Amino acid sequence: MAPPLLDPQIQAVLDEQEAEGLPPVEQMTPDEVRETLARRSREQWGELDEVHAIEDADADGVPVRIYRPVATDEPSMALVYFHGGGWVAGSIETHEGPCRAIARRAGIVVVSVEYRLAPEYPFPAGLEDAWTATEWVSRNAAELKLDVDRIGVGGDSSGGNLAAVVARRARDRAVPIALQLLLYPATSADQNTPSYSLFSSGYGLTRDAMRWYWEQYLRGGADPKHPEVSPAEERDLRRLPRAIVVTAEADVLRDEAESYAQRLFLSAVETEGYRYDGMVHGFLRMAGKVQRSNAAYDELAPSIRAMLEKTWRDVPSPAPPG
């Protein structure tokens, strides 16, 4: 199979990262990985989208940052967002750009969550923070001027993993969630799909780096096959919130994310899938250097808004067997 033809601007970003001469992720300390992601996020994002208001809040002990695109007294649609970074790195600060872009371009409130990171806080600490913040947003929707029927969850990479698990918890615990926005999510700890072989190195996120991230997250001895670790292990995907699943062509996580999207669709979950050819893992954090990355937010915004507008109440029940 011929290697993918990368977007020239994506290739330029990869060349810049290679020229830095940094050791691979698996040879770094967690603090070094965090600093690298923070620096690259600042360098690669570019100009921030303007929003009407930003406020920090305490979601039952979990720090969150709330982005409001416009001034309004009407209840707003919202997305609770979990940043990526392999459960080890990333923060509210590193994902300021993506959260502002989603808020502004989709015209919704975004609540960004500062969950605890591994290896200091391995599974399930980050997941519990993500769930606590989501419950808090839903429970306090009226005070936050949000429409409780039109709240979604979302995230990129490891944050997409958290969003998928939170969406399932919400279904099982009767918390209304209208959308799961999964941006190149990690859905399985198996790491044995064809894309793991095709893009094992040379495309940003490597197979070895992903193995290291999983090791940090599961350092507490969690079962990698547990559905709250690997959402792809969940057998029953029926009645889950509608889904938007975004993948990058040259990404080790591509196949597991697309397989999860297909299973959602076959389980009667309204699902939209978008593969961005010529892109690599993390491309949505490169909007200042890659025009296609910036344009992706404009392309996804109408779908995000349309899915939330339908509300969680409109999720169809699966047909009875037979």
User: What's at 50, amino acid-wise?
Assistant: E
- Is pLDDT of 24 > 70? yes
Structural domains of the chain ordered from first start: 8-311 (3.40.50.1820)
How do residues 178-190 score in pLDDT, each as one tens digit?
A: 999 999 999 999 9
> How, if at all, do strands 146-156 and 179-183 pair?
parallel
CA distances from 298 to 241, 247, 305 (A): 22, 16, 11
**Half-sphere exposure of 186 toward its Cβ, with a 13 Å CA cutoff?**
29
Nearest to 161 by CA among 250, 216, 227, 111: 227
Say which residues have a Cβ less than 8 Å from residue 100's Cβ, sequence separation at least 6: 48, 49, 50, 51, 67, 110
Nearest to 124 by CA among 234, 211, 230, 228: 228
Radius of gyration over alpha carbons of the chain, in Å?
18
CA 119/CA 88 separation, integer angstroms: 7
- Is pLDDT of 314 > 80? no
- Is pLDDT of 322 > 50? no
- Is pLDDT of 67 > 50? yes
The one-character DSSP state at 41 is H
Give the tokens for residue 211.
């193995």
- Is pLDDT of 299 > 90? yes
Map tokens 């929707």 to a residue. Answer: 141
- Mean pLDDT across the chain, nearest whole number? 96
Residue 188 designated active-site: no
pTM of structure: 0.96
Greatest CA span in the chain, whole angstroms? 60
Strand partners, 113: 64, 82
Which of the following is catalytic: 138, 157, 158, 188?
157
How do residues 93-104 score in pLDDT, each as one tens digit?
A: 999 999 999 999
How do residues 188-232 score in pLDDT, each as one tens digit?
A: 999 999 999 999 999 999 999 999 999 999 998 999 999 999 999
Q: pLDDT category, 311, cuts 50, 70, 90?
A: confident
Which of the following is catalytic: 91, 95, 129, 281?
281
Q: pLDDT category, 316, cuts 50, 70, 90?
A: low
Which of the following is catalytic: 49, 147, 149, 251?
251
How do residues 115-169 score in pLDDT, each as one tens digit?
A: 999 999 999 999 999 999 999 999 999 999 999 999 999 999 999 999 999 999 9
Strand order in the sheet with 53-59: 53-59, 62-68, 109-113, 76-82, 146-156, 179-183, 242-250, 271-280
Residue 226 designated active-site: no
How do residues 258-289 score in pLDDT, each as one tens digit?
A: 999 999 999 999 999 999 999 999 999 999 99
Residue 56 designated active-site: no
Give the tokens for residue 196.
């793991």
